[in-house]
Amino acid sequence: MRTAELKPEQIITLNDYPLYSNSVLSGYLERCRAGEGLPFVPVIRKSVVRPHLGTVLSKLFLEFERQHPEAGYFMLDGSHRTTALTLVGRDIAVVLYETDGDIIAAREHVATGEILLNGTLDYTLEENCGILKRHFQERPTFMTVLEKTEKLRREGLLPH
């Protein structure tokens, strides 16, 4: 199980817009401002996800890639954490799912709080790629964590 620190422009976010809870975001913002670390955000390299997207999404994603060459990872969970970290100007600590073994190893870190219990832990790498495909089929648009955070700010959807 490998971890890394990524910039918000390197991560392709989920299409859960707007965020479902400003109170959850506020809690993470407080922790970030206090200098606390947040649990790792699970990500998969775009090269692993791309073959699962299908024809229509692949065309849309190709255009997104042309405009965002630095965006190399799809996140699977963590919209509130990534938004909070972006708002305070910090990098995002991620856990890379590269094999099924990485997901199994991540499960062992739930007890320590390094990984939050989430649905991605119940599936294989391939199944998580399929979940991402279905997610983006429902709302076929791609954006980075940075873009999503900026959009939330522009539209006044962030806590005060």
pLDDT in tens, 23-33: 999 999 999 99
Q: How confident is the model at residue 159 (pLDDT cuts 50, 70, 90)?
A: confident
Residue 17 banded pLDDT, cuts 50, 70, 90: confident
Q: Report how far residue 67's alpha carbon sits from residue 55's, in angstroms, rounded to the nearest whole number.
A: 19
pLDDT at 53: 97
**Ramachandran region of residue 131, left (φ > 0), alpha (ψ -120 to 50) or beta?**
alpha
Average pLDDT for 41-70: 97
pLDDT digits (tens, 9 = 90+) for 115-131: 999 999 999 999 999 99
Q: Summarize the confidence of residues 145-156 as an average pLDDT.
A: 96
Q: Is the pLDDT of residue 102 over 90?
A: yes
Whether residue 33 contacts residue 121, with contact meaning beta carbons closer than 8 Å, is answered with no
CA distance 136 to 57: 8
Residue 6 is predicted with a pLDDT of 98
What confidence score (pLDDT) does residue 77 get?
A: 96
The percent of residues above 90 in pLDDT, for the chain, comes to 95
Q: Residue 20 above 90 pLDDT?
A: no
Buried b (16+ CB within 10 A) or exposed e, 20-32: eebebbeebbebb
